[in-house]
């Protein structure tokens, strides 16, 4: 029975590649099949002490992520209705001189925000700015939005509160917020991410080369209201402080995101009277939510069947006595696997193995080389999600936004930007990790 989850995943992934539009339906169907297999005890989870189905709906499906995603979708629509993204787009063009530099600054802004805010939220917040700009210039938003997604995935791992994998790693190594900057007197993971960002921004700049012509925009658009921006600003501050309240990233972000969206929605319908409830319901990309639910269930089934642990054990066995080879294996496999599956369950399986491998190279099995393997694992797992359009939730959301705008994106289109970005960022960032911690 251990092969059933693998077969289901491989078939589903093949259908994702074959026809992009079928992804949410295939993922949902696969999730339902796996739930039925759990229900009839064909598959089982060792962690489901209270029953298989309650375990899946209570712990496997990441409601916190889905709640935050739904809330941010609603907020982004209200923000767009305020005309603030258009105003910012105009200012960027005026200050930058051309669309290429304006979009480049938008990408940098996304990366900065993702240090303190969930990657999906960053894409949803900044995407309206890029969309407004490309609409005014009558250009395709495909490349800018792909760049937004991969930039958010890169910088999300730079701080403790930027991404759930950072929190997982911090929990295992007992890291504080400041440890991400300097750990035991040495540069932490933050600086490796910044080195990777500087190197990979060259890929972004090249990807945006078709936007290089100078265009003057003088529409003088005025913001309709600052209320949506103020609500989102408060939300960012609350989420940034939320890591001390919800260290396991299980409920706080989703609850706050939905609460902020509810307040904004009531204001939108009742006070501002810009639209009705139907408009807001239609703004939620239910296809992306269905896809993510199916992916959560499929990846958990792979973990329960032992496939993620087998990958981890294979790395430990192949490493041998060569520390550099072990480091390359940990990073390389993390990049490849996280390009296919969500990095959270993979990290859960890999963290103890990477810790064990590191202690084999430390004096008397001590802690000395643990940061080397752990930081390499974290960088590889988080950046690897940029290879494919389904490797990270931010990618899925960006593709969903583009699809709603009438720009379907294929695997090949995404990978033409995501793959070189990942290679450059991983090589640059992990080189610094090796030099500092080896």
Can you give the pLDDT of all 438 residues of the chain as single tens digits?
789 999 998 898 888 877 767 888 999 999 999 999 988 888 888 877 777 888 888 878 888 888 887 888 888 888 878 878 777 777 777 777 778 888 898 888 888 888 877 788 788 888 888 888 888 778 889 999 999 999 988 888 888 777 778 877 887 787 777 888 999 899 999 999 999 999 999 999 998 888 876 766 666 678 888 998 898 888 888 877 766 677 666 788 889 889 999 999 999 888 887 888 888 888 777 888 888 888 888 888 888 888 877 877 777 778 777 889 889 999 998 898 888 776 776 777 788 888 888 887 877 766 788 899 999 999 998 888 889 888 888 888 899 899 888 898 888 899 999 999 999 999 999 999 999 998
Residue whose pair of structure tokens reads 């005025």 in the numeric block: 222
Looking at residue 373, its pLDDT comes to 92
Residue 320: CB atoms within 10 Å:
11
Cβ contact 178:426 at 8 Å: no
Q: What phi and psi, each to the nearest 5 degrees, are found at residue 186? A: -120, 160
pLDDT of residue 430: 94
Report pLDDT for 243: 60
> How would you write the chain as a 3-class SS string?
CCHHHHHHHHHHHHHHHHCHHHHHHHHHHHHHHHHHHHHCCCCCCCCCCCCHHHHHHHHHCCHHHHHHHHHHHHHHHHHHHCCHHHHHHHHHHHHHCCHHHHHHHHHHHHHHHHCCCCHHHHHHHHHHHHHHHHHHHCCCCHHHHHHHHHHHHHHCCCCCCCCHHHHHHHHHHCCCCHHHCEECCEECHHHHHHHHHHHHHHHHHHHCHHHCCCCCCCCCCCCCCCHHHHHHHHHHHHHHHHHHCCCCCCCHHHHHHHHHHHHHHHHHHHHCCCCCHHHHHHHCCHHHHHHHHHHHHHHHHHHHCCHHHHHHHHHHHHHCCCHHHHHHHHHHHHHHHHCCCCHHHHHHHHHHHHHHHHHHCCHHHCCCCHHHHHHHHHHHHHHHHHCCCCCCHHHHHHHHHHHHCCCCCCHHHHHHHHHHHHHHHHHHHHHHHHHHHC
pLDDT at site 216: 63
User: 130: which 2 tokens?
Assistant: 């890029």
CA dist 311 to 48, 260, 283, Å?
A: 23, 40, 39
Give the separation between CA 188 and CA 374, rounded to whole angstroms.
Answer: 11
Query: 234, 289, 253: which is closest to 121 by C-alpha?
Result: 253
Q: Residue 167: which of 66, 63, 249, 69 has the closest Cα?
A: 249
The Cα–Cα gap between 167 and 189 comes to 13
Cα 263 to chain centroid distance, Å, stands at 26
Whole-prediction pTM value? Answer: 0.75
Check residue 192 and give its pLDDT: 92
Closest CA to 398 of 253, 86, 408: 408
Residue 175: alpha-carbon gap to chain centroid: 21
Residues belonging to the chain: 438
């Amino acid at each position: 029975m251990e092969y059933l989850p693998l077969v289901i995943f491989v078939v589903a992934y093949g259908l994702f590649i074959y026809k992009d539009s079928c992804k949410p339906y295939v993922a949902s169907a696969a999730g339902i099949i796996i739930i039925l297999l759990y229900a009839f005890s064909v598959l089982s989870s060792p962690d489901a002490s209270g029953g298989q189905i309650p375990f899946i709906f209570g712990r496997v499906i990441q409601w916190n992520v889905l709640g935050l995603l739904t809330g941010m979708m609603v907020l982004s629509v209200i923000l767009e209705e305020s005309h603030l993204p258009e105003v910012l787009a105009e200012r960027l063009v005026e200050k930058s001189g051309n669309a290429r530099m304006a979009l480049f600054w938008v990408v940098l802004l996304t990366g900065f925000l993702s240090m303190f805010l969930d990657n999906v939220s960053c894409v949803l917040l900044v995407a309206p700015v890029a969309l407004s700009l490309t609409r005014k210039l009558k250009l395709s938003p495909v490349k800018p939005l792909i760049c937004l997604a991969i930039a958010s995935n890169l910088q999300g791992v730079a701080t403790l509160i930027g991404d759930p994998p950072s929190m997982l790693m911090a929990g295992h190594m007992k890291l504080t917020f400041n440890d991400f900057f300097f750990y035991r007197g040495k540069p932490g993971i933050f600086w490796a991410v910044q080195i990777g960002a500087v190197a990979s921004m060259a890929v972004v700049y090249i990807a945006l080369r078709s936007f290089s012509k100078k265009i003057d925009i003088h529409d003088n658009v005025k913001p309709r209201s600052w209320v949506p921006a103020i609500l989102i600003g408060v939300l960012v501050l609350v989420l940034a402080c939320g890591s001390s309240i919800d260290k396991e990233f299980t409920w706080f972000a989703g609850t706050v995101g939905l609460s902020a969206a509810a307040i904004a929605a009531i204001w939108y319908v009742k006070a501002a009277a810009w639209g009705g409830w139907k408009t807001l319901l239609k703004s939620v990309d239910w296809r992306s939510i269905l896809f993510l639910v199916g992916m959560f269930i499929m990846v958990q089934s792979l973990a329960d069947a032992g496939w993620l642990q087998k990958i981890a054990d294979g790395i430990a066995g192949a490493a041998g006595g060569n520390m550099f080879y072990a480091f390359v294996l940990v990073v390389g496999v993390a990049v490849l696997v996280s390009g296919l599956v969500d990095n959270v369950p993979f990290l859960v399986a890999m963290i103890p193995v990477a810790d064990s491998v590191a202690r084999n190279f430390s004096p008397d099995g001590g802690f000395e080389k643990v940061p080397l393997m752990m930081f390499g694992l974290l960088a590889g797992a988080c950046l690897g999600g940029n290879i494919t359009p389904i490797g990270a939730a931010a990618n899925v959301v960006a593709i969903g936004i583009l699809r709603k705008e009438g720009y379907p994106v294929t695997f090949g289109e995404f990978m033409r930007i995501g793959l070189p970005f990942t290679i450059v960022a991983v090589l640059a960032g992990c080189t610094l990790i090796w030099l500092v911690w080896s």
